[in-house]
Amino acid sequence: MSLASLSVNTLKPRLKEIKLSFYLLNRNKLTKLSLVIVVLLLLIAVFAPLIVPYPGHVRGETHPQDKLLAPSGTYFFGTDELGRDIFSRVLFGTRISVETAVVAVVIALLIGVPLGAIAGTMGGFLDELIMRITDVFLSFPPLLLAIAIAAFLGPSLQNAMLAIAISWWPWYTRLVRGQAVSIRERQFVKAARAIGTSPRKIIFNHVVPNCIAPVIVQASMDLGGVILTISSLSFLGLGAQAPIPEWGLMVSTSRQYFLDAWWYSIFPGLAIFITVLVFNLLGDGLREILDPKTRKL
Protein backbone atom coordinates (compact mmCIF):
# COMPACT_ATOMS: atom_id res chain seq x y z
CA MET A 1 0.00 0.00 0.00
CA SER A 2 1.65 3.20 -1.07
CA LEU A 3 1.73 6.42 0.88
CA ALA A 4 -0.23 8.08 -1.87
CA SER A 5 -3.25 5.90 -1.33
CA LEU A 6 -3.23 6.77 2.36
CA SER A 7 -3.58 10.42 1.61
CA VAL A 8 -6.30 10.22 -0.99
CA ASN A 9 -9.85 9.80 0.23
CA THR A 10 -11.61 6.60 -0.57
CA LEU A 11 -14.14 6.71 -3.34
CA LYS A 12 -17.43 6.08 -1.57
CA PRO A 13 -17.59 9.13 0.71
CA ARG A 14 -16.34 11.21 -2.21
CA LEU A 15 -19.30 10.12 -4.33
CA LYS A 16 -21.73 11.11 -1.65
CA GLU A 17 -20.05 14.49 -1.37
CA ILE A 18 -20.41 15.05 -5.07
CA LYS A 19 -24.07 14.03 -4.97
CA LEU A 20 -24.63 16.51 -2.16
CA SER A 21 -22.93 19.24 -4.12
CA PHE A 22 -25.17 18.72 -7.09
CA TYR A 23 -28.27 18.62 -4.92
CA LEU A 24 -27.36 21.93 -3.30
CA LEU A 25 -26.47 23.42 -6.66
CA ASN A 26 -29.82 22.42 -8.05
CA ARG A 27 -31.67 24.13 -5.25
CA ASN A 28 -29.99 27.45 -5.81
CA LYS A 29 -31.52 28.99 -8.90
CA LEU A 30 -29.31 32.04 -8.96
CA THR A 31 -26.16 29.95 -8.91
CA LYS A 32 -27.45 27.75 -11.68
CA LEU A 33 -28.24 30.78 -13.78
CA SER A 34 -24.80 32.28 -13.23
CA LEU A 35 -23.19 28.97 -14.07
CA VAL A 36 -25.03 28.96 -17.37
CA ILE A 37 -24.00 32.50 -18.17
CA VAL A 38 -20.40 31.86 -17.20
CA VAL A 39 -20.29 28.89 -19.55
CA LEU A 40 -21.83 31.10 -22.22
CA LEU A 41 -19.16 33.74 -21.65
CA LEU A 42 -16.43 31.15 -21.84
CA LEU A 43 -17.85 29.91 -25.12
CA ILE A 44 -17.93 33.42 -26.46
CA ALA A 45 -14.36 33.92 -25.35
CA VAL A 46 -13.21 30.80 -27.09
CA PHE A 47 -15.13 31.26 -30.30
CA ALA A 48 -14.97 35.04 -30.50
CA PRO A 49 -12.93 35.26 -33.70
CA LEU A 50 -15.54 33.15 -35.42
CA ILE A 51 -18.69 34.82 -34.25
CA VAL A 52 -18.03 38.54 -34.36
CA PRO A 53 -19.98 40.21 -37.17
CA TYR A 54 -17.11 42.47 -38.18
CA PRO A 55 -13.82 40.67 -37.56
CA GLY A 56 -11.77 43.38 -39.19
CA HIS A 57 -13.00 46.02 -36.80
CA VAL A 58 -11.51 44.10 -33.97
CA ARG A 59 -8.02 44.23 -35.31
CA GLY A 60 -7.33 47.64 -36.61
CA GLU A 61 -9.59 48.46 -39.50
CA THR A 62 -11.02 51.90 -39.35
CA HIS A 63 -14.02 53.30 -41.14
CA PRO A 64 -13.99 56.99 -40.30
CA GLN A 65 -17.01 57.64 -42.44
CA ASP A 66 -19.13 55.54 -40.09
CA LYS A 67 -17.94 57.14 -36.91
CA LEU A 68 -20.11 57.45 -33.82
CA LEU A 69 -23.26 55.95 -35.22
CA ALA A 70 -26.09 55.13 -32.86
CA PRO A 71 -27.08 51.48 -32.34
CA SER A 72 -28.95 50.08 -35.31
CA GLY A 73 -29.64 46.92 -37.19
CA THR A 74 -26.23 46.93 -38.82
CA TYR A 75 -24.27 47.96 -35.76
CA PHE A 76 -26.04 46.57 -32.67
CA PHE A 77 -24.08 48.65 -30.23
CA GLY A 78 -23.28 51.50 -32.56
CA THR A 79 -19.81 52.52 -33.69
CA ASP A 80 -16.91 54.27 -32.05
CA GLU A 81 -14.90 57.30 -33.15
CA LEU A 82 -13.05 55.29 -35.76
CA GLY A 83 -16.19 53.77 -37.17
CA ARG A 84 -15.60 50.35 -35.67
CA ASP A 85 -18.51 48.14 -34.66
CA ILE A 86 -18.75 48.27 -30.88
CA PHE A 87 -20.71 45.03 -30.67
CA SER A 88 -17.89 43.07 -32.30
CA ARG A 89 -15.31 44.76 -30.14
CA VAL A 90 -17.25 44.13 -26.95
CA LEU A 91 -17.74 40.51 -27.89
CA PHE A 92 -14.06 40.09 -28.64
CA GLY A 93 -13.27 41.87 -25.42
CA THR A 94 -14.74 38.88 -23.60
CA ARG A 95 -11.93 36.79 -24.95
CA ILE A 96 -9.32 39.31 -23.96
CA SER A 97 -10.63 39.81 -20.46
CA VAL A 98 -11.09 36.13 -19.73
CA GLU A 99 -7.74 35.18 -21.21
CA THR A 100 -5.84 37.87 -19.35
CA ALA A 101 -7.62 37.10 -16.09
CA VAL A 102 -6.95 33.38 -16.31
CA VAL A 103 -3.28 33.86 -17.11
CA ALA A 104 -2.87 36.39 -14.31
CA VAL A 105 -4.49 34.06 -11.80
CA VAL A 106 -2.46 31.08 -13.00
CA ILE A 107 0.78 32.99 -12.58
CA ALA A 108 -0.32 34.13 -9.14
CA LEU A 109 -1.06 30.51 -8.26
CA LEU A 110 2.27 29.32 -9.57
CA ILE A 111 4.03 31.77 -7.31
CA GLY A 112 1.73 31.69 -4.33
CA VAL A 113 0.89 28.03 -3.88
CA PRO A 114 4.44 26.63 -3.64
CA LEU A 115 5.47 29.45 -1.32
CA GLY A 116 2.50 28.81 0.93
CA ALA A 117 3.08 25.08 0.94
CA ILE A 118 6.73 25.53 1.81
CA ALA A 119 5.93 28.01 4.55
CA GLY A 120 3.24 25.85 6.08
CA THR A 121 5.07 22.56 5.90
CA MET A 122 8.55 23.64 6.87
CA GLY A 123 7.61 26.12 9.56
CA GLY A 124 10.29 27.92 11.49
CA PHE A 125 12.44 30.59 9.93
CA LEU A 126 11.33 29.88 6.37
CA ASP A 127 7.73 30.24 7.44
CA GLU A 128 8.40 33.55 9.18
CA LEU A 129 10.35 34.89 6.23
CA ILE A 130 7.75 34.02 3.67
CA MET A 131 4.90 35.30 5.79
CA ARG A 132 6.66 38.63 6.41
CA ILE A 133 7.19 39.05 2.70
CA THR A 134 3.55 38.24 2.19
CA ASP A 135 2.60 40.82 4.79
CA VAL A 136 4.62 43.46 2.98
CA PHE A 137 2.85 42.80 -0.28
CA LEU A 138 -0.52 42.71 1.43
CA SER A 139 0.04 46.02 3.13
CA PHE A 140 -0.48 47.87 -0.10
CA PRO A 141 -4.09 48.81 -0.64
CA PRO A 142 -5.59 46.47 -3.20
CA LEU A 143 -5.02 47.61 -6.76
CA LEU A 144 -2.43 50.16 -5.77
CA LEU A 145 0.49 47.81 -6.15
CA ALA A 146 -0.83 46.68 -9.50
CA ILE A 147 -1.02 50.31 -10.61
CA ALA A 148 2.49 51.04 -9.43
CA ILE A 149 3.98 47.95 -11.03
CA ALA A 150 2.12 48.44 -14.28
CA ALA A 151 3.20 52.06 -14.38
CA PHE A 152 6.79 51.08 -13.92
CA LEU A 153 6.91 48.13 -16.26
CA GLY A 154 5.34 50.17 -18.98
CA PRO A 155 1.74 50.22 -20.09
CA SER A 156 0.72 47.09 -21.92
CA LEU A 157 -1.77 44.28 -21.43
CA GLN A 158 0.95 41.76 -20.67
CA ASN A 159 2.49 44.00 -18.07
CA ALA A 160 -0.88 44.60 -16.51
CA MET A 161 -1.34 40.84 -16.32
CA LEU A 162 2.03 40.50 -14.64
CA ALA A 163 1.31 43.38 -12.30
CA ILE A 164 -1.91 41.76 -11.17
CA ALA A 165 -0.23 38.40 -10.69
CA ILE A 166 2.45 40.02 -8.56
CA SER A 167 -0.07 41.80 -6.36
CA TRP A 168 -2.39 38.79 -6.09
CA TRP A 169 -0.11 35.87 -5.17
CA PRO A 170 0.11 36.71 -1.43
CA TRP A 171 -3.57 35.85 -0.94
CA TYR A 172 -2.98 32.32 -2.19
CA THR A 173 0.14 31.95 -0.13
CA ARG A 174 -1.79 32.79 3.01
CA LEU A 175 -4.57 30.42 2.09
CA VAL A 176 -2.27 27.54 1.27
CA ARG A 177 -0.10 28.07 4.31
CA GLY A 178 -3.11 27.82 6.58
CA GLN A 179 -4.11 24.58 4.93
CA ALA A 180 -0.59 23.22 4.95
CA VAL A 181 -0.19 23.84 8.66
CA SER A 182 -3.16 21.62 9.44
CA ILE A 183 -2.17 19.00 6.89
CA ARG A 184 1.34 18.60 8.15
CA GLU A 185 -0.10 17.30 11.42
CA ARG A 186 -1.92 14.51 9.68
CA GLN A 187 -0.77 10.94 9.93
CA PHE A 188 0.34 10.36 6.42
CA VAL A 189 2.65 13.34 6.43
CA LYS A 190 4.17 12.28 9.70
CA ALA A 191 4.58 8.80 8.30
CA ALA A 192 6.28 10.13 5.20
CA ARG A 193 8.64 12.16 7.32
CA ALA A 194 9.40 9.13 9.45
CA ILE A 195 10.52 7.06 6.52
CA GLY A 196 12.77 9.86 5.41
CA THR A 197 11.02 11.28 2.39
CA SER A 198 12.73 14.42 1.19
CA PRO A 199 10.99 17.68 2.13
CA ARG A 200 10.52 18.54 -1.51
CA LYS A 201 8.64 15.31 -2.13
CA ILE A 202 6.55 15.76 0.96
CA ILE A 203 5.53 19.23 -0.08
CA PHE A 204 4.75 18.54 -3.67
CA ASN A 205 3.46 15.00 -3.55
CA HIS A 206 1.50 15.11 -0.33
CA VAL A 207 0.81 18.60 0.96
CA VAL A 208 -0.02 20.42 -2.23
CA PRO A 209 -2.56 17.95 -3.64
CA ASN A 210 -4.50 18.09 -0.40
CA CYS A 211 -4.54 21.88 -0.23
CA ILE A 212 -5.31 22.48 -3.81
CA ALA A 213 -9.10 22.14 -3.85
CA PRO A 214 -10.07 25.24 -1.84
CA VAL A 215 -7.38 27.20 -3.64
CA ILE A 216 -8.76 26.33 -7.04
CA VAL A 217 -12.24 27.29 -5.87
CA GLN A 218 -10.96 30.58 -4.48
CA ALA A 219 -9.06 31.27 -7.70
CA SER A 220 -12.13 30.79 -9.86
CA MET A 221 -14.05 33.08 -7.56
CA ASP A 222 -11.31 35.66 -7.89
CA LEU A 223 -11.67 35.81 -11.65
CA GLY A 224 -14.42 38.37 -11.34
CA GLY A 225 -12.29 40.69 -9.26
CA VAL A 226 -9.33 40.22 -11.58
CA ILE A 227 -11.37 41.17 -14.62
CA LEU A 228 -12.48 44.30 -12.78
CA THR A 229 -8.86 45.12 -11.99
CA ILE A 230 -7.73 44.62 -15.55
CA SER A 231 -10.39 46.93 -16.88
CA SER A 232 -9.56 49.51 -14.22
CA LEU A 233 -5.90 49.39 -15.15
CA SER A 234 -6.74 49.74 -18.83
CA PHE A 235 -9.04 52.61 -18.00
CA LEU A 236 -6.13 54.41 -16.38
CA GLY A 237 -4.04 53.77 -19.43
CA LEU A 238 -1.85 51.16 -17.81
CA GLY A 239 -3.24 48.08 -19.45
CA ALA A 240 -4.34 47.34 -22.93
CA GLN A 241 -3.34 49.91 -25.47
CA ALA A 242 -5.18 50.88 -28.64
CA PRO A 243 -6.36 49.24 -30.85
CA ILE A 244 -6.94 46.25 -28.55
CA PRO A 245 -10.68 45.99 -27.88
CA GLU A 246 -10.42 45.77 -24.12
CA TRP A 247 -13.49 46.91 -22.23
CA GLY A 248 -11.83 49.29 -19.79
CA LEU A 249 -9.87 50.91 -22.56
CA MET A 250 -13.02 51.38 -24.58
CA VAL A 251 -14.74 53.11 -21.71
CA SER A 252 -11.73 55.32 -21.23
CA THR A 253 -11.57 56.33 -24.90
CA SER A 254 -15.29 56.89 -24.91
CA ARG A 255 -15.07 59.62 -22.31
CA GLN A 256 -14.33 62.25 -24.90
CA TYR A 257 -17.51 61.47 -26.79
CA PHE A 258 -19.80 59.96 -24.29
CA LEU A 259 -22.09 62.88 -23.63
CA ASP A 260 -23.30 62.59 -27.19
CA ALA A 261 -22.49 58.99 -27.98
CA TRP A 262 -23.78 57.27 -24.87
CA TRP A 263 -23.61 53.79 -26.42
CA TYR A 264 -19.85 53.98 -26.58
CA SER A 265 -19.44 54.08 -22.78
CA ILE A 266 -22.49 52.12 -21.75
CA PHE A 267 -22.06 48.84 -23.61
CA PRO A 268 -18.44 48.03 -22.81
CA GLY A 269 -19.07 48.99 -19.17
CA LEU A 270 -22.18 46.85 -19.12
CA ALA A 271 -20.13 43.95 -20.40
CA ILE A 272 -17.68 44.38 -17.53
CA PHE A 273 -20.50 44.58 -15.05
CA ILE A 274 -22.35 41.49 -16.24
CA THR A 275 -19.21 39.40 -16.54
CA VAL A 276 -17.92 40.30 -13.11
CA LEU A 277 -21.40 39.91 -11.65
CA VAL A 278 -21.94 36.35 -12.86
CA PHE A 279 -18.47 35.29 -11.79
CA ASN A 280 -19.11 36.75 -8.36
CA LEU A 281 -22.56 35.16 -8.13
CA LEU A 282 -21.13 31.83 -9.14
CA GLY A 283 -18.37 32.24 -6.60
CA ASP A 284 -20.88 33.08 -3.89
CA GLY A 285 -23.02 30.11 -4.77
CA LEU A 286 -20.03 27.79 -4.83
CA ARG A 287 -18.87 29.07 -1.49
CA GLU A 288 -22.27 28.41 0.00
CA ILE A 289 -22.43 24.93 -1.47
CA LEU A 290 -18.99 24.05 -0.22
CA ASP A 291 -19.50 25.59 3.20
CA PRO A 292 -19.28 22.71 5.66
CA LYS A 293 -22.23 24.05 7.62
CA THR A 294 -24.67 23.88 4.76
CA ARG A 295 -23.37 20.43 3.97
CA LYS A 296 -24.13 19.21 7.44
CA LEU A 297 -27.72 18.72 6.39
Partner 1 sequence: MKSFIVKRLLLGILVLFGVIFITFFLTRVIPADPAAQWVGSRATVAQKQAARIELGLDKPLYVQFLKYVANLLQGNLGYSLRSHQPITRELQNYLPATLELVLLSTVFAVLVGIPLGVLSAYKKDHWLDHFSRFFSVGAVSLPTFWVGLFLQLIFYRMLGVLPLGDQQSMTVRLMYPLHHITGFVILDSLITGNFVVLNDALAHIVLPGITIALYPIGLVARMTRSALLEILNEDYICAARSYGLPPRMILWSYALKNSLGPTVTVVTLSIGYTLVNTFLVEAIFAWPGIGNYISSAVMALDYPAIIGVTIFSAIVYILLNLLADIVVALDPRVRI
Partner 2 sequence: MDAYFAVNDLKVGYKTFEGEKSVLDIGDFYIGKGETYGIVGESGSGKTVLALTIMRLLAAPPGIIHSGRITIDGEDLLSKSESEMRKVRGKRISMIFQDPMSTLNPVFTVGEQLRRVIRQSRGCSHKAAEKLTLEMADIVRLPDAANTLGKYPHELSGGQRQRIIIAVALSCGGEFLIADEPTRNLDVTIQAGILKLVAQLQRDLKMTVLFIANNLGLVSAMCSRVGILQRGRIVESGTVREILRTPRHPYTTLLLNAIPNGKGEAQDFGRLPPTTATETANAGCQFASRCPRRIPRCVSERPEARMVEGEHRVACHRAFEEGWAK
Q: Are residues 167 and 149 in contact, defined by beta-carbon separation less than 8 angstroms?
A: yes
Per-residue mark of binding to partner 1, 15-44 (x: CB under 8 A): ---------------x--------------
Q: Are residues 155 and 239 in contact, defined by beta-carbon separation less than 8 angstroms?
A: yes
Q: Is 23 in the site for partner 2 (CB under 8 A)?
A: yes
Span near partner 2 by CB under 8 A; candidates 17-25, 151-159, 242-250, 260-268: 17-25
The span from the CA of 197 to the CA of 6, in Å, is 15
Q: Is 296 in the site for partner 1 (CB under 8 A)?
A: no
Q: Is 277 in the site for partner 1 (CB under 8 A)?
A: yes
Contacting partner 2 (CB under 8 A), which of 24, 109, 130, 286?
A: 24
Q: Which of 263, 269, 266 is nearest to 70 (CA)?
A: 263
Closest distance to partner 2 from the beta carbon of 13 (Å): 13
Measured in degrees and rounded to the nearest 5, phi and psi for residue 8 equal -95, 135
> What one-letter code names the amino acid at 105?
V
Q: Which long-range contacts (CB under 8 A, 24 or more apart) does 167-170 make?
A: 167/137, 167/140, 167/142, 167/143, 168/104, 168/105, 168/108, 168/112, 168/222, 168/226, 169/107, 169/108, 169/109, 169/111, 169/112, 169/115, 169/137, 170/112, 170/134, 170/137, 170/138
Closest distance to partner 1 from the beta carbon of 61 (Å): 26
Q: Which does 176 bind (CB under 5 to 8 A by kind): partner 2, partner 1, none?
A: none
Q: Which does 200 bind (CB under 5 to 8 A by kind): partner 1, partner 2, none?
A: none
Closest distance to partner 1 from the beta carbon of 190 (Å): 29
Closest distance to partner 2 from the beta carbon of 291 (Å): 14
Dihedral, CA of residue 115, residue 119, residue 121 and residue 124, to nearest 10:
160
Closest distance to partner 2 from the beta carbon of 295 (Å): 9
- Which ranges of 79-156 would DSSP assign to H, the alpha helix? 86-122, 124-138, 144-153
Closest distance to partner 2 from the beta carbon of 23 (Å): 5
Q: Is 208 in the site for partner 1 (CB under 8 A)?
A: no
Residues that bind partner 1 (CB under 8 A): 30, 132-133, 135-137, 139-145, 147-149, 151-154, 224, 228, 231-232, 235-238, 248, 251-252, 254-255, 258-259, 262, 265-266, 269-270, 272-273, 276-277, 280-281, 284, 293
